[in-house]
């Protein structure tokens, strides 16, 4: 399983514009990451902040419709585009340069 995860991370990181990939548990603790240009402290900050965002977004979706489930979040700022894919036990966070930059 670990090899498959590493392969998937490597493939995603190979896409144009991808700056980093972080896998966290639901408590926001980094399980695996590939973010060569950032320090461990910055990576952990991303993990904590976006895990909190995913948790709140799940609550909002369930508050609107208890039978619905959050599957993906995309956030774009001037500097980054962040894609968050929450799973049952883990959250995948991909940080990339916005298209057109």
Average the pLDDT over each of 5-9, 15-19, 72-76, 81-85 and give the range with the smallest value.
Answer: 5-9
Of 98, 97, 94, nearest to 32 (Cα)?
94
Of 100, 90, 93, 88, nearest to 12 (Cα)?
93
Instruction: Using the predicted structure, report yes or no on whether residue 101 has a pLDDT greater than 70.
Output: no
Cα–chain center distance at 68: 20
Dig out the tokens for 71 from the structure: 């599957």
Overall pTM surpassing 0.85 (yes/no): yes
If pLDDT is split at 50, 70 and 90, which confidence band does 66 have? Answer: very high
- The model's pLDDT over 7-58, given as tens digits with 9 standing for 90+, comes to 888 888 888 999 999 999 999 999 999 999 899 999 999 999 999 999 999 9
């Amino acid at each position: 399983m670990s090899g498959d995860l590493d392969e998937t991370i490597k493939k995603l990181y190979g896409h144009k514009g991808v700056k980093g990939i972080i896998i966290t548990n639901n408590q926001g603790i980094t399980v695996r990451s590939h973010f060569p240009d950032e320090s461990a402290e910055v990576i952990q900050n991303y993990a904590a902040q976006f895990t909190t965002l995913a948790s709140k977004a799940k609550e909002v979706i369930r508050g609107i419709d208890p039978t619905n489930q959050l599957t993906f979040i995309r956030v774009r700022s001037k500097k980054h585009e962040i894609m968050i894919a929450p799973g049952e036990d883990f959250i995948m966070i991909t940080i990339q340069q916005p298209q057109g930059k």
